[in-house]
Amino acid sequence: MNLSLEEKQRITHLIEEGIMRSTDRLGKMSKTEWAVMSSSTNEVPAVRMLSWFQRSKDEHVAVHFRSGEGVPLDFLIIFSEKSAQSVTGAVTKPYAAKLDGFANLMELTIGEVSNIVAQSVIGAMADEFDKTIILSIPEVHRGPKASLLGVVLEAYDGREDVLLMSHVEMFSEDLSADCAMVIIVNADVLHELVRNQKPN
Amino acid sequence: MGFRILIVDDSPVLRVMLTDMLQALGHEVVGEGESVKSGLAAFIATKPDLVTLDVSLPDGNGLDLLQMIRKHDPNARAVMVTGNDQVALEKRALSLKALGVLHKPFDVEELSALIQKAAPFIRPRPAA
């Protein structure tokens, strides 16, 4: 289902506002300054997104969130293995000795970092639409990009949902990381939210 | 003054970080919960002076848990510690008489400021 140009601009603006919020929070977590080098958001057909993701066979780490109440949506954040490792190293450094015993430290840390990023983006939408959106706890998956996308596409219904993809490149002096975000949201809910958004 | 504090958060990494900060501030972490169910059980078992509640939990949310805790102990004192910074959610937490909301990520100074602000409303209780 397609968004109108106005709806697309509105949603893109909110996602990008959320991404800017998330760099401040990432900076605080990793004790280094982050900047967004590039960011783009597009409504993409599922088939095209899958074929784009199939280009990379490398291992990636993906974190999946759902929201039920009020605004049902699925949210997936995908990091390359290298990005996931460097972000984990930066965030856990001050607590390295105490976190040493966790066998799955990267998954746990990327889950928490993605939670912060996802909450920033969802928070920008929720505030604009005067709603409360509570995300599920993070579910972390590893594998090639296309199979990770499959995790959220299971929830996608082409007749009723909108599929948005944001590609974000973030950079800090000490490390570089990039991630992709995929958001699936019910089109009727999105139309209604944009129609009823609170006045600026 | 040091308080006896219970942490409820699904993330073990966050629980380690929060425990470290609370101990550095002179508080005692008396228990941990990772869900609504384990958080409620830990609250009943430890009777903490203060409970920190995450919003997103695997079997529900921290706001519902706060209401359950209140049913068990109307004088329970709680702060929300969450990555969720939505205005409507913060209003809802304060309407449930949470003593404050701390947004993740936070540093030890912000945590200290929140506890200091809440301190006049916290009555230390004997351990369970």
Judged by CB atoms closer than 8 Å, whether chains meet at B86 and A135 is answered as no
**Per-residue pLDDT at B94 exceeds 90:** yes
Chain B CB contacts of A121 under 8 Å are none
* Nearest neighbour of A111 by CB, restricted to B11, B82, B85: B11
Query: What pLDDT shows up at residue B78?
Result: 96
Q: CB contact, 8 Å: A17 with chain B?
A: no
Rounded Cα distance, A151 and B25, in Å: 42
Contact B56 A98 (CB under 8 A): no
Query: Which residue from B11, B58, B61 is facing A112, i.e. has the nearest CB?
Result: B11
- Per-residue pLDDT, averaged over A65-77, amounts to 83
Of A66-80, B3-17, B41-55, the range with the lowest mean pLDDT is A66-80
Top residue of A106, A112, A114, A117 to mutate, by most chain B CBs within 10 Å, is A112
* Residue written as token pair 């596409």: A153
Q: The tokens of A4 are what?
A: 């109108």
Domains and CATH numbers, chain B: 4-51+65-119 (3.40.50.2300)
Q: From residue A163, give the alpha-carbon distance in Å to each of A3, A77, A78, A116, A187.
A: 10, 14, 15, 21, 9
pTM score above 0.90: no
Q: Chain B: residue nearest A129 by CA? A: B88
Tokens at residue A33, please? 């300054």
pLDDT surpasses 70 at A125:
yes
Pairing status of strand A73-80 against strand B101-103: unpaired
Instruction: Summarize pLDDT for A84-112 with one digit per residue, the tens.
Output: 998 898 888 888 888 888 889 999 999 99
Write down the pLDDT at residue A171. 73
Band of the pLDDT at B101, cuts 50, 70, 90?
A: very high
Cα angle A115, A10, A140; round to 5: 20
Residues of A within 8 A of B12 (CB-CB) are: 102, 108
Are B104 and A92 in contact (CB < 8 Å)?
no
Beta-carbon contacts of residue A47 (< 8 Å; ≥ 6 apart): none
Q: What is the pLDDT of residue B93?
A: 94
**ipTM metric:** 0.82
**A95 close contact with B: CB closer than 8 A:** yes
Mean pLDDT of the region A51-63: 90
